[in-house]
Structure 1
Amino acid sequence: MSAKRTFRVWRGGGDGGELASYEVEVNEGEVVLDVLHRLQATQAPDLAVRWNCKAGKCGSCSMEINGRPRLSCMARMSTFADDEPITVTPMRTFPVIRDLVCDVSFNYQKAREIPSFTPSEDAEPGSFRMRQQDVERSQEFRKCIECYLCQNVCHVVRDHEENKEAFSGPRFLMRVAELEMHPEDTADRRKAAQDDFGLGYCNITKCCTEVCPENITITDNALIPLKERVADRKYDPLVWLGSTIGLRKGADTPRVPNTRPGDQGGTE
């Protein structure tokens, strides 16, 4: 069973463009990416669309569909009203290269700025054991497919171009949180989270969590616990006293145990 649907697709480049309307055949069970491929094959062979796996696991086909940031390979046509035009535009936060393809190199730059996993130099191979709750915490964060939809909806980045220098965005603050909470990572990432990656800019609106196609609870499980750790470090009276009178000059401040709200116990 097939029907004609109206697609309004952004056509243009970095110097501007406009929405072009097409009447495209849609078959039962198809997703938006299927229809865009048919549009390429029948009416707009020069339409630029980025995609790869078509299974919701590579994050390549991120775009905005009727104003909502989504993966086009996971947006089923059956979820739209029969008489509803489908408006497809590129992610608004990043520069447009052409049509629906954006330049997301900002994200690669931020990824390179995060110091890598830093285990103890004294640890013997095979001597370390992780608790199951630590394993599960890391596994949640590692589900990220780097579609950058969370980066796209974060208003700190989206609406304020000047913040891109100081703010890494939710995807990479989540990476900092993952490493900070790892019991074998010895680097103290709390000061860097605040000073280098702009954690203080995040006002926890949870928009990043709402659009995550992997259902990662970015705000509650990564950003808020990281903020708590930064606050503990900054306002700990012993840390303040030591830094003020110089008793801890040249020494690192103690790390916060790898716990989060709801955890029971927990030591490094």
Structure 2
Amino acid sequence: MESGTSGERPSTSYDAHFRVWRGDAEGGGLEDFTVEVNEGEVVLDIIHRLQATQAGDLAVRWNCKAGKCGSCSAEINGRPRLLCMTRMSVFERTDVITVTPLRAFPVVRDLVTDVSFNYEKAREVPSFAAPAELGPGEYRMQQEDVGRSQEFRKCIECFLCQDTCHVVRDHEENKAAFAGPRFLMRIAELDMHPLDAAEEQGLDRKTTAQDEHGLGYCNITKCCTEVCPEGIKITDNALIPLKERAADRKYDPLVWLGNKIRRRE
């Protein structure tokens, strides 16, 4: 029988077993659902089908459904992922698929979490410091320098890296002192920007990364890189180089002496 006949399920469809976390800040638990899955669908499609058929009050945050807004972050079988970019075809038909909210942040309701922690950390990072001698339209950069920081601009702020980082995931008490990989990456981007004049204006981004944003808490496990949906090499291209420059600034005797001389001048 041909698939797609009116009133009949496509021959490629099947029933999947989902376990979805339901609750709010007061508590909650996993609920079991059996739900139809069709060829080519992603997990967000299934969550929407649950809303339409079995759980009309299920809360989930989403927007673009194209992997570019970062809204639909959640944990699927314990791994931080985007619901809209996780295809059902990566699972076996017999798998039990568990969908839970981001563990590192407070639950608002069901799969929606309060990620305001990240916006607070964003405000703590000093912005780009424009060179005093250059006006609008006068910035000039080598393409090599553009490419170096352009990778970090691909970030969609899904906060999966923040969620998977064990420094905040497993230790709530660290949040006050630790900016997390997304914002340490932002500091690294600004520090390697050839036109950033922060140091000339009295701001040492390397020192503040260590002393104010918790760079030393990072032990480069690369878990942030592994979950990044944009494929940004957060650890190798941002955090490790920033750590190296911060260590040079603090412990290299020649750098220390040069800074002393410069300050005297």
TM-score past 0.5 threshold:
yes
Letter in 2 for 1:18: G
Distance 1:46 1:247 in 2: 65
Letter in 1 for 2:173: E
Matches within 5 A, 1:104-183: 104-183=115-194
Match of 1:66 among 73, 77, 86: 77
The answer to whether 1:93 aligns with 2:104 is: yes
Cα shift readout 1:71-96 (whole Å, capped 9, x = no counterpart):
00011111101100111000100000
CA contact (8 A) 2:36 2:46 kept: yes
CA contact (8 A) 2:248 2:255 kept: no
The answer to whether 1:193 aligns with 2:204 is: no
Letter in 1 for 2:192: M
Structure 1 residues 210 and 4, CA, compared in 2 at 3 Å: closer, same or farther?
Answer: same
Letter in 2 for 1:123: L
Percent of aligned positions that are identical: 73
Match of 1:46 among 38, 57, 80: 57
Distance 2:48 2:137 in 1: 50
Match of 1:204 among 214, 220, 241: 220
Structure 1 residues 44 and 250, CA, compared in 2 at 3 Å: closer, same or farther?
Answer: farther
More off after superposition, 117-126 vs 33-42: 117-126
Other-structure match for 2:241: 225
More off after superposition, 144-153 vs 134-143: 134-143
Distance 1:224 1:205 in 2: 11
Secondary structure, counterpart of 1:142 in structure 2: helix
Distance 1:128 1:70 in 2: 38
Other-structure match for 1:75: 86
More off after superposition, 126-135 vs 72-81: 126-135
Other-structure match for 2:253: 237
Distance 2:137 2:254 in 1: 35
Other-structure match for 1:266: none
Letter in 1 for 2:153: R
Tell me the TM-score normalized by structure 1. 0.89
Letter in 2 for 1:21: D
Letter in 2 for 1:186: A
Cα shift readout 1:112-150 (whole Å, capped 9, x = no counterpart):
011110011122444432111211122100000000000
Tell me the TM-score normalized by structure 2. 0.90
Other-structure match for 1:262: none
What displacement does 1:240 show?
A: 3.2
Other-structure match for 2:231: 215
What displacement does 1:232 show?
A: 1.2
Other-structure match for 1:30: 41
Q: CA RMSD for the aligned pairs?
A: 1.5
Gaps of 5+ in 2: 1-11, 199-203
Match of 2:20 among 9, 17, 23: 9
How many residues matched? 249
Secondary structure, counterpart of 2:224 in structure 1: helix
What displacement does 1:247 show?
A: 5.1
More off after superposition, 7-16 vs 124-133: 124-133
Distance 1:127 1:52 in 2: 37
Gaps of 5+ in 1: 252-268
CA contact (8 A) 2:225 2:234 kept: yes
Distance 1:76 1:239 in 2: 50
Letter in 2 for 1:212: C
Secondary structure, counterpart of 2:32 in structure 1: strand
